[in-house]
Amino acid sequence: MGSMNPSNSATVYVSCFNTVLQAASALGVDRQMLIDGVGLDVASLAIPDERLPAPQFIELYQLADKAAENADLGLYVGRLIYFLGLNLQLYMTTICRNLKEYLNVIPSTISFRGDLGRVIICPDGEYIRLEWHPLDDYTAKLRYLSDEMLSSSKLIVDSICALPVPVLRVELSYARPANTDVLENMFCSELSFDASVSCLYYSRKCLRYPLISLDYELGVEFKATPRSLVDNDGEDSPFLREVKVAITRSLPSGQLTIDSLSGDLGISRRTLQRRLTSRETSFKLLLQGVREELSLRYLVDSGLGITEIAFLLGYSDQASFSNAFRSWRGCSPSDHRNQQSR
């Protein structure tokens, strides 16, 4: 048996708390009652990249679930996560070319929610499974976490593809509820319960589906696309522009190496190194340059949190990004953003 509560050292980003509070409020629950009930500091809720204890988050969910008397609370929270993350998803459509590339980075996207769990993409014959794996045994049977993660993932996947991506089957780790109407409306009618893991089934052929291509400008702040990074680099050779775009596309996975980059470019590692050396640069220098340039562009967009920017740049956490940014600019990302907004 696992622990009866999430680890006391685990933390969750404050955005998770705010989405639960917003969903519960929409269902008629008094927001202040929830805040007081779990001892939340109101000031902390206004700090976008603040992290609070995971046990406190679970306690908030349990209190909201009880007060709302609505078993579908997690589905509504997932819907909010989807809409609140639209800005990030639009950036991802400029980075990834198809659903396969996007699904390769999904596990990394979970990292900016906190110590809750991870998503795993598994091939299964003619299907692929998007599985939700909580980090703690105790939370595996909590319906609202499975509902939150699967519903937000389903909405994102279906919205970023140029073609519809229907869920074909759903397995859920909790017991069958008395009413499954909202679950069926969210996912599909093929539901099974008491499964070993909560997951969504998709057709494997959807991996080839292209992502949406924006044919309009979202605004003056939305300029940090892979192509915009190199459009104005008149001194760069076509090869260096291609390398920079490939780096940008691979960054969110958090797994970029010179070997993976050479594979993406369809050349050997030795050939890549030789071509970079002949242009008086290296993989390390290009990687740092792309990250620095993108960080400055991302920070202009107030709709992206520092944690989301760290993810887009391939850093494991906000602290790693902040340390790198200090070495480039002599200040923290937040301080730079504040200075530019004055």
pLDDT in tens, the chain (342 residues): 334 455 568 899 999 999 999 999 999 999 999 999 999 999 999 987 788 999 999 999 999 999 999 999 999 999 999 998 888 888 888 888 899 988 887 766 666 688 888 888 999 999 999 999 988 777 777 899 999 999 999 999 999 999 999 999 999 999 999 999 999 999 999 999 999 999 999 999 999 999 998 765 544 445 445 455 555 445 568 899 899 988 988 888 788 999 999 998 999 999 999 999 999 999 999 999 999 999 998 888 877 888 888 888 988 788 899 999 999 999 999 999 988 876
Give the pLDDT score at 95.
82
Judge contact between 193 and 141, C-beta under 8 A. no
Judge contact between 98 and 157, C-beta under 8 A. no
Inter-CA distances, 34 with 6, 62, 71, Å: 20, 10, 17
Residue ranges matching CATH 1.10.10.60 in the chain:
226-341
HSE-up (13 A, CA, CB side) for residue 183: 24
The torsion angles phi and psi of 91, rounded to 5 degrees, stand at -60, -40
What the block records as the tokens of 58 is 């679970």
Give the pLDDT score at 171.
97
Among residues 329, 296, 328, the alpha carbon closest in space to that of 312 is found at 296
Pairwise CA distance, residues 279 & 239, whole Å: 10
The torsion angles phi and psi of 151, rounded to 5 degrees, stand at -70, -40
Exposure string of 50-62, with b = 16+ CB inside 10 Å and e = fewer, is: bbbbbbbbbbbbe
Pairwise CA distance, residues 190 & 185, whole Å: 11
Alpha helices by DSSP H, the chain: 14-26, 31-37, 42-45, 54-68, 73-84, 86-95, 99-109, 143-160, 181-186, 226-231, 238-250, 258-265, 269-278, 283-300, 306-312, 318-329, 333-341
The torsion angles phi and psi of 218, rounded to 5 degrees, stand at -75, -15
Query: What fold, for 226-341?
Result: Arc Repressor Mutant, subunit A (1.10.10)
Among residues 295, 325, 297, 336, the alpha carbon closest in space to that of 313 is found at 295
339 DSSP β-pair partners: none
Mapping DSSP to helix (H, G, I), strand (E, B) and coil, where does residue 90 land? Answer: helix
Residue type present at position 262: S
Give the pLDDT score at 16.
93
Give the pLDDT score at 117.
87
What the block records as the tokens of 299 is 């920070």
Whether pTM exceeds 0.85: no
Exposed / middle / buried, residue 173 (Cβ in 10 Å: 0-12, 13-18, 19+): buried
Residues 6+ apart with CB under 8 A from 119: 106, 107, 109, 110, 130, 131, 132, 133, 149, 153
